[in-house]
Structure formats: structure tokens, C-alpha cells
Chains A and B, each alone.
Chain A
């Protein structure tokens, strides 16, 4: 039976699950980045998510916003580089939007993704179509707004599909940001590695909420 909302303790368990799925996905992410970038995205995400697991084990989260903010800080501190700043911003900004909330529900999911998307866009300067993580995050955020009346276990499934679709759409885009931009037209045919990570993260959230 899927959950309609999560409390802080359940959110901690969800993020631990997300972290372990990303760690398992390291070879997929490394391959994705090798096609377009310098091939270090998988290892960076693995390092970041190991730090998240440690952080969540040693610190207590009093409310759901803390869980996401701690996730963001752990990723930022451990990953370095642009991806640490961007994924750190995703979780930190998303978490800030949930301050004061006792439960993480469908409305919370929308607030989280909307604020995460705004934060990443202003930090990195990318817009949809630039072949970045935004191409998975923005459609997920918009879809979350449309399905926020559904129970969380239903809305998150739909949102995860949107993120995955966004990731797939990034294959046809020409990279204009980061290292991949030097490839120009040659970047077409591969999905963006950051968009892959976003899609995997949201799918893992959905799988946890629906078990």
C-alpha cells in the first residue's frame, strides 16, 4: 500500500533508499557522462550519496525540510565542482520550501520541486532545452503542480514518469552548457548525465513511497 505522506523519519528512510539507488547506478551515470563530459559524474554522485547516508545516520532531522537540507549540504561538501553546487542547491532549496511542514505530501512535493528547479536555474543559468538536469527537473516540477490533489503515492509516480520523459527528450538536444558544449551537434543522441541523475532520484523516491 502506497503512502499519502511521509513524516521526517520516513523521509530519512526515503533519502537513504535514494542514496543507495544512485550508488548502484554509478556505472550508468559514468557511462552517460563519458559520452558528453569528463566522465566523473557517476563517481561524484556516488561520493555525494555516501556522504548523505553518513550525514543522515549521525544527525537528527526534526522536520522533513531538515532531511532535504542535510542531503543538500552533504552533497555540496563532499562532491565539489559544479555538480556538487547544483545538486546541493536542488536539495537545499527544495528543503527550504518545506520549512515548518510536518509532513511531506503531494503539495509538499510540488513546493519542493518548484523551489529546487528555481534554485538550480538561478545557480547554473541553464534554461529548458540546454541539455542539463533542468530538462528532467522542470517537467517534473510542472507535472507535480498539476497532480498535487492526488495522494503522494499516485502523484509521485506520474512526476517520476515526467522526469524520465524529460531525460529522454534531452537526447535530441544540443548541449550549450558545461564541458559538453564544446561537442556542439555531436552531443545529440545521448541524454544529459545530470538529467539521468534527476530521473533516477525521483523514480527511487516513487519506489520507496509505493512500497
Chain B
């Protein structure tokens, strides 16, 4: 793999230095490996995100105006250790509490939990909401065990907007949980990414197969199916999202007239051309179902190096979520006018 890097052990640090440059002064690096907004309004409830590096432009690219206040960044594909979570928490804290919002992966949960304990030892009020949008990673009865994938872009956007006006930490927690409940994703993978330091693939998959529901690190999904066309694959993926809304009694199913957000995400190597071809088929599918797409987002947001694959995320909107979605935002990862 031809990769434009320098010292393989400094990849995470150097990409964060570059990210700060891309922010042109809106964000700064704090401590060992945290990205924090240059100006955080006093007394706001703070939103902290984070996770391993190597999946750019998330997570640290979602720090910005009306988005997250900061991100605790780990090494490549590794959770940030607790002292980085602590330094990021201290940097974003205004005294009104900090909400941790990140993808549900064992390493992240353990390290953020210890970070939360260290922060509360310092008198900072912390609450956590886990992002669990990947419907293929666990059945709906145990949906709290699901992993977080591309739906996190929508969830962080909504929570970031809500954090601008939330009166207290509990209020922000409530809205973030609502965004998680209303957002479901299905992904496929066609070929692995590589580990920057070693060049080794992150997982193996047969050339002729697609991993339906496979996770962004190669975690097993629903099944492996033969390689197929965009128009054949797209409805299969959207069916899984619709079935999940239907089966889960905690939320009403997607029905005619419902307004949704639709996110088409590339995992890195899958091109915009392919994403747009899939988007075209997705819109036909949604039109047939009578569902109204309120906003469409397409591009590489949650990636894994040169992994090829795609995911669809759907957020079922209500008045409250829509109001937070409408607020403009700006960051390296996602900007909405």
C-alpha cells in the first residue's frame, strides 16, 4: 500500500496537527491528544466525543460550531486512554457538566468510563450516551449492545445543536438518547483497510463476497453474500433498517408521510460515483415506501483507511429533532448552511 506518511508511530499525532491547521484557528490541540474548540461559551453544557484515530474525518473532525466542543483522540484504531479523556473533559468543562457521546466499542467504553471517574474525582459532572446505530451488530431486543457506525454523524450534529441551548446535562442527555433511538444504520464491506503502521489488512474477506452488516473493523455481520450490483444491494440494506424500526417496540415503525434524514456513507475507498448510484436507488425505494426525505447527506464521513464499503443511515424525525437538525453548523467533517 502506497501511503503518504512519515514515522508510522507518529501517524495519529501528525494527522491531528494537520487537522488543527485545517480548522484555521477554530480548534486547538490540548494536552496529549485532544482537539477542543478555541472558544466555548461560558455556562454551556459541554459535548465531548472521541474514539480511535484512523477513521477520519470523524470523530475529531466533528468538533466545531454548533457541533461537539471537544474530542478525546486515541491512537490509530485504539480508544483514547483515560488521562486523555480527563484532559479533554477539563478543557471543555464550563461548570455545567459534560456529556460523553461516542460509539459503543468495549475499549472506548472502558477508557471513557475511567475518564469519567477521574473527572468526577475532580468535581466535574459527567454523563454518557453510547451511539448504537448498527442494526446488524445485535438484535433489537439487545440494541444497547450494538456498535456505533456512520449514524453518529447525525447524532453528534443533533446533540451539538441541542447543547447550545440545553439548560442542563440531563436535558442534553435526553436529546442525545432520542437521536440514538431514532437513528439506524446498515453497512456492508467489500474489502479491508490497512493498518497504517504495518500495512497489514484489518481483516480478510473473499474477493467475490460482500459482508452484509460487517463492522468498520471487520466485525462479523449478518451474512456474506455474493458480490452484486448497486441496485440489487441497496434495497436489501434498506429492508434491514425498515424491519428494525418495525420490530422495535420502543419506536414507531417508518410509515407513509414520515420525514427522515438519509445518510449515505463511504468507508473510504468506495467512490462518490458509487455512493451516488446507490443514493439514486435508495431514493426510489424510499419514494415507493412513501417516506419523505427531509435532508440527504452523502460522502465519506466514517472511514477505515482504504476499506471499501458503504452504509445507509436513517433518522426518523420528530419536531424536536428537526429543530436541532435545522441549526447551521461548521466543522472539517460536516458543515450545514
- A residues in contact (CB < 8 Å) with B: 73, 76-82, 84-86, 88-89, 123-124, 177-178, 182
Closest to A92 in B: B114
Chain A proximity of B296: nearest CB distance (Å): 34
Q: A182-B219, A182-B220 are in contact. Are A79 and B110 (CB under 8 A)?
A: no
Question: Could you say which residues of chain A place their CB within 8 Å of the CB of B75?
Answer: 80
0 or 1 for each of B30-60: is its CB under 8 Å from A? (1 = yes): 0000000000000000000000000000000
Contact, CB under 8 Å: B79 / A123: no
Question: Number of B residues contacting the other chain (C-beta, 8 Å)?
Answer: 16
- B residues in contact (CB < 8 Å) with A: 74-75, 78-83, 106-107, 110-111, 113-114, 219-220
Closest 6 A-B residue pairs measured CB to CB?
A85-B110, A82-B107, A80-B78, A81-B107, A81-B78, A77-B83
Contact, CB under 8 Å: A76 / B113: no
Contact, CB under 8 Å: A88 / B78: no
Chain A proximity of B100: nearest CB distance (Å): 15
Contact, CB under 8 Å: B81 / A82: no
Contact, CB under 8 Å: B82 / A85: yes
Contact, CB under 8 Å: B113 / A123: yes
| Contact among B111, B219, B220 for A85, CB-based, below 8 A | B111
Contact, CB under 8 Å: A124 / B82: no
Secondary structure of the A contact surface, majority rule: helix
Tally of contacts, chain A with chain B, CB under 8 A: 52
Chain B proximity of A190: nearest CB distance (Å): 19
Cα of A124 to Cα of B111 in the assembled complex, Å: 11
Q: A80-B74, A80-B75 are in contact. Are A124 and B81 (CB under 8 A)?
A: no
Cα of A82 to Cα of B81 in the assembled complex, Å: 9
Cα of A182 to Cα of B221 in the assembled complex, Å: 10
Contact, CB under 8 Å: A77 / B107: no
Cα of A80 to Cα of B83 in the assembled complex, Å: 10
Q: A182-B219, A182-B220 are in contact. Are A78 and B81 (CB under 8 A)?
A: yes
Cα of A89 to Cα of B111 in the assembled complex, Å: 10
Chain A proximity of B55: nearest CB distance (Å): 15
Contact, CB under 8 Å: A80 / B79: yes
Cα of A178 to Cα of B83 in the assembled complex, Å: 23
Contact, CB under 8 Å: A88 / B80: no
Cα of A178 to Cα of B106 in the assembled complex, Å: 8
| Contact among A82, A88, A177, A178 for B82, CB-based, below 8 A | A88
Chain B proximity of A22: nearest CB distance (Å): 18
Closest to B106 in A: A82
Q: Which of A79, A81, A89, A178 has the most CB of B within 10 A?
A: A81
Contact, CB under 8 Å: A82 / B110: yes
Question: Could you say which residues of chain A place their CB within 8 Å of the CB of B82?
Answer: 76-77, 85, 88
Question: Could you say which residues of chain B place their CB within 8 Å of the CB of A124?
Answer: 106, 110
Chain A proximity of B136: nearest CB distance (Å): 14
